[in-house]
Amino acid sequence: MKLKAQKRERLGTSASKQARNDNKVPATIFGSDMEAQSVLIDRKEFDELLRELGRNAVFNIDLDGEETQVLIKNIDLSALKPEIYNVELNALTKGQKVTVPVTIVLEGLEDVKEGVVTQTLNEVEVETDPLDIPTEITLNVSDLVIGDTVVVSDLKVPENVTVLAEAEETVVVVAAPRVEEEPTDGDAEVAEPEVIGEKEE
């Protein structure tokens, strides 16, 4: 996928605000063998790219007829409204591996017959070639029972993808549901406090 970009002529807070008002996304392209470039991207096209390719999208930026393959490094969002403030893009070089976070998605939760499934790790960082970044890592939990634990080394990923998290880090645990004990008659009865008064004469 390719997006056209235009070079930013004006920088600063007011210029960025005006760009967003004009339905543009301020972006910065970083690279190991290039100077950082400040550009503007059409917001509608960028939103469509995110919907189709996801947060770890690899795509081409066309700037004045020159194309650069980039990976989304960071997206700054407004704290007040659903608006993208700025995007950082990492320019890729041939043969370069990248490190990105990938979400762990649980499958088969509705088929777990007993126990409570708790996911303790929602994403892991992986290292791979830019075009081989998985959109997500799927973990099927339908056969798990009480007492089972799934760790990072149990995750199934393509051969050319390396998970960087600790192999024994817990991803999912299955525990017995908590059962509240019914109060007994003895528990329900509350002893009347003894009142100690003055001794009668």
- Give the domain ranges of the chain: 2-95, 99-175
Q: Assess whether the region 2-95 and the region 99-175 belong to the same CATH fold.
A: no
Q: At CB < 8 A and 24+ separation, what contacts does 49-55 make?
A: 49/1, 49/3, 52/1, 53/1, 54/135
Note the pLDDT of residue 163.
97
Q: What percent of the chain has pLDDT over 90?
A: 56
Average pLDDT over residues 40-46: 94
pLDDT band at 16 (very low <50, low <70, confident <90, very high): confident
Average pLDDT over residues 34-41: 90
Q: What percent of the chain has pLDDT over 70?
A: 89
Provide the mean pLDDT of the chain: 87
How wide is the angle at C-alpha 149 spanned by C-alphas 145 and 152, nearest 5°? 140
What is the spatial distance between Cα 165 and Cα 152, in angstroms, rounded to a whole number? 7
Radius of gyration of the chain (CA): 28
**Of 19 and 28, more confident:** 28
Indicate the fold that domain 2-95 takes in CATH: Ribosomal Protein L25; Chain P (2.40.240)
Span 99-175: which CATH code? 2.170.120.20
pLDDT band at 17 (very low <50, low <70, confident <90, very high): confident
Give per-residue pLDDT as tens, 71-124. Answer: 999 998 877 777 888 999 999 988 889 999 999 999 999 999 888 999 999 999
Its pTM stands at 0.72
What is the spatial distance between Cα 20 and Cα 14, in angstroms, rounded to a whole number? 10
SS3 assignment, position 109: helix
Q: What does each C-alpha distance from 69 to 93, 187, 197 come to in angstroms? A: 8, 70, 89
- How far is C-alpha 34 from the chain's CA centre? 29
**What are the residues whose beta carbons fall under 8 Å from the beta carbon of 94, sequence distance 6 or more?**
none
